[in-house]
Amino acid sequence: MKNIQLIVLGFAFLLATSCQSKTKQHTISENASEKEATPEKIEKLSRQDLSKYETAYFASGCFWCVEAIFESVRGVQEVISGYAGGTEKNPTYEMVGSGQSSHAEAVEVYYDPKVISFVELVQVFFGSHDPTTLNRQGPDRGTQYRSIAFYKNDEEKKIIESYIRALKEQNVYSGATITTEVTAFTKFYEAEDYHQDYERKNPNNSYIRNVSIPRLNRFKANFGEYLKEEAH
């Protein structure tokens, strides 16, 4: 497990640990809610409620893991799992999960810019996965698991590119190539209902126990000051 020194533009340095998952059998049966799981009742904000917040889009491996990480961050109001970065219309999990599309598993993050900035969300993004493993996060392999930071305007693009440049200048990854794609945002497709809040609804799922929760806990250990009060 490598230590990653993260640089927020113009701010002090931060140390974080990259997340490495162990195993994931990405099959339809694995995605179905397991019988022994105790679903958590989750209050969801309406689209109208969410419309007053800003959005950001990232892809960094299994969206079950990524959704749970961003949900724990202060200022984040909602996170939706889905697909982005490809050209096919209305992709399904069967298409994306099997690598038969050009999309990646991604998340749509609704956040309050008065509480957390886009710069800080970019820091969370890089601090919660390994951007040097091409088309892979741990054992999850394929272009559907590639690292992508999406931008909606020139300012967001500048922030992402400047952050990557700072990581390179500081040799944070010991010379390893940062493979993160910096991509203009075009369209986000919401994933099937059973993928939403999957980690919280299915705590006894084997992948959640062995991969998602450990990855989330590693993030929490390194980003305590970014967490919601209830996430500590």
> Is 62 a residue of the active site?
yes
Catalytic residue chosen out of the listed positions 19, 59, 62, 159: 62
Q: In whole angstroms, how far apart are CA 45 and each of 77, 125, 206?
A: 8, 23, 28
Catalytic residues: 62
